[in-house]
Amino acid sequence: VYSSDGMGDSLASAAATAEDVEVEASRALAEADAMLTVPPEGAGGGSDDDEDGGAGPDDEADRAAPADAALEEALRRIRADKTLAPPPFPTPPNLTAHPKMADKLRAVQAFIERLQYNYTGTDYFDIRKNRPVTRLLDTARRVVREALPIKCVEAVFVALLLTQGLDVERLPLSFKTRVERQTCKHIVLAVRHGAQWGALGLSRRAGLYYKPLGSAQSLGELFRDFEREYAKVFHRVLRVKVGLPVPHDALAAEYVCWAYRVVDARDQTPAAREELGKVLDA
């Protein structure tokens, strides 16, 4: 049994507690509103460590707006100028116009070079090599169609596409090199017609992709040509991979063998170099 006086004291205590909770809640909401309030125009919205002395996002947007407007205006004038020629778009070579195989391959290489090397750091195409030949050729067709910059792997895909049906044997040739503490990888398409060898591809260095047909009389000699070019840019060849010939069937579902032989190229002794040449030419 509770007395009326005790009940009154309890109600008063509960009311006081509720009032205290309401006050604390109101204070917390006020602090949150203060934190979310955008400072008036002209006030420093950034921290004291801001490089521009406290400029906030709105100030950056205000500065960027004139530049964006100027860019849009320049683009509008370019589009409206009917006297400007359209940008150059590389077209695949007509190989039937070249009776000699060396000229056909030179035309293929010229087209690959017109696509230009991709310096952006972003791959525009699927560069996975562990796909059937038909899928690699699909990627190559997309490269030809869109004509965006490429790297060495896409260049090999395009070389495979454009040499389909030609009387050449095509083998992937991959390099692993080191310059100072950096390790690099590169790939070209080695081509053979009769006893003559050459290579197709693309690189940032002129001597590290195209080799005219007839520049080498064996695969070992072709490798040594690349090795000399690597030495000119202070690269040491660590390893070379030679794949199997790629079939000319455009609908082939088989996978390309990219590394049938893997040869250590670090040993520079005469005996090791002679053995390396024998392995590559086997």
| pLDDT tens-digit series, residues 109-143 | 999 999 999 999 899 999 999 999 999 999 999 99
Burial class (CB in 10 A: 0-12, 13-18, 19+), 261: middle
> pLDDT-derived band of residue 85, with 50, 70 and 90 as boundaries?
confident
Catalytic residue (one of 3, 47, 174, 186): 186
Quick one: pLDDT at residue 196? 97
**Separation between Cα atoms, residue 78 and residue 274, nearest integer Å:** 60
Residue 32 burial by CB count (10 A; 0-12/13-18/19+): exposed, middle or buried?
Answer: exposed
Looking at residue 5, its pLDDT comes to: 46
Confidence band, pLDDT 50/70/90 cuts, at residue 48: very low
Q: Output the pLDDT for position 30.
A: 52
Tokens of 39: 């400072």
**Which pLDDT score, from 0 to 100, does residue 75 have?**
83
- Identify the weakest region by mean pLDDT among 2-6, 79-83, 176-180: 2-6
Closest to 210 (Cα-Cα) out of 123, 93, 112 = 112
Spatial contact of 58 and 40, defined as CB atoms under 8 Å apart: no
Q: Is 152 a catalytic residue?
A: yes
Among candidate residues 47, 174, 193, 203, the one labeled active-site is 203
Residues above pLDDT 70, as percent of the chain: 76
Whether 44 has a pLDDT exceeding 50, the answer reads no
The pLDDT assigned to 65 comes to: 60
pLDDT beyond 70 at 41: no
- Residue 158 contacts residue 169 (beta carbons within 8 Å): no
Q: Alpha-carbon distance 104 to 108, whole Å?
A: 6
- State the average pLDDT over residues 186-195: 97
Which of the following is catalytic: 4, 10, 13, 152? 152
Which secondary structure element, helix H or strand E, spans residue 212, and what is its range? strand 211-216
Which amino acid makes up residue 127?
I
**pLDDT beyond 80 at 189:** yes
- Quote the mean pLDDT of the chain: 82
pLDDT of residue 192: 97
| pLDDT class of 52 with cuts at 50, 70, 90 | very low
Nearest to 205, CA basis, from 235, 239, 162, 247? 235
Amino acid identity of residue 154, one-letter, is E
**pLDDT value of position 89:** 86
> Is the pLDDT reported for residue 56 higher than 80?
no
Is the distance from CB of 47 to CB of 57 less than 8 angstroms?
no
